[in-house]
Structure formats: C-alpha cells, structure tokens
Structure 1
C-alpha cells in the first residue's frame, strides 16, 4: 500500500534502536525523509547508514537528549518544518515506588510526559498551518495495565495521554492527528534486560522465563520492532486522517478487554 507520505519529513525521537528504530525504518520505506535521534552518536550513525542503505531515503542523525531544551532545538534545527513527529523516549528503570525520591520522579515525568508535550508545542501549529501533520506518541500497555515497579513510567505516560486527549482534538479540522501507540511485550533490549534480571533473581534460565512470558500472550510470541514500525507508519499516513485521539494497543492480545 502506498501510504501517501513520500517526501514528507519525519522526526523520530529515540530511534537509534528498538521501537523507535522500527518506526524510523518504516517511515523511510514509505518515502519520508527521516531524522533519527539517540544519545550514542556512534550507534546512531550506524543506524542512519543502515536505514538509508536499505531504503534509499535521506536519513539524518541527530545525537541529542530529547529530554533537554538543547536536544529539542538540535532536532528542530535539522528539521524545522516536520510533517510527522514520533515521540519516544526511554523510561525510568524498574524500581519499587518507595525508592523513588523527588528528583527521580521529576526526571521520569520530564522523560515521558513533559518532553513529548514540549515537542508537540514546537511543531503542531506549523503542521496545522501547512494542512498536514501526524503526531504519534509511543507510550505503553502499562498505561492501561499497570505493572509493579514501572509505576513512574506508567504514571507519566498516563499523564501525557490525558493531557493530549483534549489538545489533540483541537487540531483535527486542520488535518493534524495525535494518536498513541501502546506496546505490550516487544522483543527489545528493555524486555530482554527484564527477562535476564528475572532469571537472575529466580535462578531459572533465561529461556524458561522467556517462554513463560511469551506463553502469557494470546499470540504466543513477543512483538517485533519491525511490525510495530509498520503500524506507526500507517497512523502517520494519508489514509489515517480520520483517526485521532486514539490509544492503540499493540500487544498480541495480552490486555484482556472488549473495549
């Protein structure tokens, strides 16, 4: 399917690996010019080169921390008039809520709520003036299905969801959409790290823990960054203009609900 976004310019935050990279690659395959972003400049350059080689797209790496004003300015200097923004950022590490002090909580809220809002503030009006904009926020299944130890991440992402529920709809008449993608158990470094930690704590093997967790998912497997990216690209496409304010679970059926 032609997604109708060839030639569009996309900023994909935190995209040197994992789900962000999957989104960047899918948008590049759709013909977008893509700004990729991460903290590790060497890994980011490799990612940009690999995506450009596979897709033929123009891919520009911007090594910066999107949680900072300087990082956001660097992204927008590389792409002043984006048509697409994919908000993504690392979440706080798993930790018992009793261990969270004020500074840790502030940092978590900056990472997963304030920073994406700041990026939207900087780009949404320009998108509306030009008559096209697609904003996708990568949040988490834990917004709907809390997981002990990820309370800070879940709370900040839920705050982002509520904040944008009204804001996003104010742009709908000008062909700017704002949607959230909620990944479940995706086969990323974060998931693998959690499995290794669980194996170490329990004395069970990594393979046993992995199989047990995959067995809890109706699809019987973990999701991939590639399929996540393709879903993201669809919500950024010309065909998704009538979809906004939605929270889309990408979880293989893990969240048990009818609505």
Structure 2
C-alpha cells in the first residue's frame, strides 16, 4: 500500500534501536526523509548507516537526550518543519512505588510526559499552518493495565494521554492527528532486562522465563519492532487522516477487555 507520505519529513525520537528503530525503518520505507535520535553515538551511527544503505531517502542522526532542552533544539535544528513527530523515550526503571523519591518522580514525569508535550508545542503550529501533520506517541499497555513496579512510567504516560485528549481535537480541523501506540510485551532490550531480573530472582533459565511470559499472551509470542513500526507508519499515512485521539494496543490480546 502506498501510504501517501513520500517526501514528508519525520522526527523519530529514541530511534537508534528497539521500537523507535522499527518506526524509523517503516517511515523510511514509505519514502519519508527522517531524523533519528539516540544517546549512544556508536549505536546511532550504525543505525543511520544501515538505514542509508537500505532506503533512498535523507537520513540525519542526532545524538542527544531528547528530555533536555538542548536535545530538543538539536532535533528541531536538523528538521525545523517536520510533518511527522514520533515521541518516544526510555521509561524509569522498574521500582516499587515506596522507593520513589521526589527527584525520581519528577524525572520520570519529565521523560514521559513533559518532553513529548514540549516537542508537540514546538511542531504543532507549523503542521497546522501547512494543513498536514501526524504525531504518534509511544506510551505503554500499562496506561490501561497496571504493571507492578512501573507505576511512575504508567502515571506519566497516562498523564500525557489525558493532556493530549483535548489538544488533538483542537488540531484536527487543520489536518493534524495525534494518536498513541500502546506496546505490550515487545521483544526489546527493556523486556530482556525484566527477564534477566526474573532469572536472578528465581534461578530459572532464561528459556523458561521467556516461555512462561509468552504463554500469558493469547498470541503466544512477543511483538516485534517491525510490526510495531508498520502500525506507526499507517497512523502517519494519508489513509489515517480521520483517526485521532486514539490509543492503539499492540499486545497480542494480553489486555483482557472488550472496549
């Protein structure tokens, strides 16, 4: 399917690996010129080289922490007038709520709520003036279904979701959509880190821990960055112009609800 976004310009935050990288791959394949981002220079450069080798589009790489004002400025300098913004950022590490102090909580809210809002504030006026824009926020299934130890991440991302519920409707008349992608158990480094903790705590093998976790999912497998990226690209397409303010679960059926 032609997504109708060839030649559009996209910023994809935290995209040197994992789900962000999957989104970068899909948007590059759709013909978008993209800016990718990460904090590890070597990983970022390797991702940029691989993308340039695979797709005939412009690829810019910005090594920066998107949670900082300097990092955001660097992204916007590389792409001053993006048509597409993919908000993504690492979440706070798993920790019981009783262990969270004020500074840790504020940092988590900045990472997963304030940062995407700041970037949206920066790019939305231009998108609205050009009568086209796509914003996709990568949040989490935990916005809907609590996950023990991820209370800070869940709360900040849920706050972002509520904040943007009104904003998306203000932007809709100008051809700008804002949607959220809620990943479940995706085969990424973050999931692997959780498995490694489980191995250390239980003494089980990695294979057993992975198998038990996959068995909880109706699809009986973990999601992957490629299929996640393709869903993201569709939300950015001309075909999704009537779709805004939505929370799209990619969880293999793990969240047990009819609505």
Please state which band the TM-score falls in when normalised by the shorter chain: over 0.9
Moved segments of 4+, more than 4 Å:
none
Map of 1:201 onto structure 2: 201
Map of 1:117 onto structure 2: 117
Tell whether 2:147 aligns with 1:159. Answer: no
* Whole-angstrom distance in 2 between the partners of 1:232 and 1:48: 19
Q: CA deviation at 1:58?
A: 1.3
TM-score (norm 2): 0.99
Map of 2:73 onto structure 1: 73
TM-score (norm 1): 0.99
Matches within 5 A, 1:187-198: 187-198=187-198
Other structure's SS at 2:146 match: coil
* Whole-angstrom distance in 1 between the partners of 2:188 and 2:53: 22
Q: CA deviation at 1:56?
A: 2.1
Matches within 5 A, 1:111-150: 111-150=111-150
Tell whether 2:105 aligns with 1:105. Answer: yes
Deviation by residue 1:29-73 (Cα, 9 ceiling, x = unmatched): 000000000001111011011012112221100001110000000
* Whole-angstrom distance in 2 between the partners of 1:31 and 1:147: 37
Map of 1:232 onto structure 2: 232
Q: CA deviation at 1:249?
A: 0.2
In structure 1, runs of 5+ residues without a counterpart are: none
* Whole-angstrom distance in 2 between the partners of 1:228 and 1:202: 31
Other structure's SS at 1:24 match: helix
Deviation by residue 1:159-184 (Cα, 9 ceiling, x = unmatched): 00000000111010111000000000
In structure 2, runs of 5+ residues without a counterpart are: none
Map of 2:64 onto structure 1: 64
* Whole-angstrom distance in 2 between the partners of 1:94 and 1:56: 39
How much is the aligned-residue C-alpha RMSD, in angstroms? 0.5
* Whole-angstrom distance in 2 between the partners of 1:57 and 1:207: 39
Map of 1:176 onto structure 2: 176
